[in-house]
A = this chain, B = another copy of it.
Amino acid sequence: MGTTVTDPAALTPREARSLFRGGLITPTAGWSAGWTQANLLVLPREMALEFMVFAQRNARACPVLDVALAGEVAASIFDGDLRTDLPAYRVYRDGEPVAEVGEVREYWRDDLVSFLIGCSFTFEGALLEAGVPVRHIEAGTNVPMYLTNRECAPAGRFAGPLVVSMRPVPARQVGDAVRVTARYPAVHGAPVHVGDPAGLGITDLDRPDFGEPVEIRAGETPVFWACGVTPQAAVMRSRPAFAIGHAPGHMAVTDARDSAYLVP
Interface residues of A (CB under 8 A from B): 45, 48-50, 52-53, 56-57, 64, 66-67, 69, 76, 113, 153, 155-156, 179, 182-183, 185, 263-264
Contact = CB atoms under 8 A, between A and B. Distances in A.
A66 B50 CA distance: 13
Q: Residue among A49, A56, A155 with the most chain B CB within 10 A?
A: A49
A53 B64 CA distance: 10
Contacts of A155: 67, 69
Given A155-B69, A179-B264, A45 B49 contact: yes
Given A185-B185, A263-B182, A264-B183, A53 B67 contact: yes
4 shortest A-B CB distances, which residue pairs? A49-B49, A53-B67, A263-B263, A182-B264
Nearest to A68: B53
The count of identical subunits is 2
A56 B49 contact: no
A52 B48 CA distance: 10
Given A56-B64, A263-B182, A263-B263, A50 B69 contact: yes
Contacts of A156: 69
Given A53-B67, A56-B67, A76 B153 contact: yes
A52 B66 CA distance: 11
Contacts of A52: 49, 52-53, 56
Contacts of A57: 66-67, 76
Nearest to A113: B49
Contacts of A56: 52, 64, 66-67
A53 B72 CA distance: 13
A185 to B, nearest CB: 6
11 contacts: A45-B49, A49-B52, A52-B52, A52-B53, A56-B66, A179-B264, A182-B263, A182-B264, A183-B264, A185-B263, A263-B263
A153 B77 CA distance: 13
Contacts of A185: 185, 263
A244 B100 CA distance: 44
Nearest to A182: B264
A48 B155 CA distance: 14
Nearest to A48: B49
Contacts of A64: 56
Given A182-B264, A263-B263, A53 B69 contact: yes
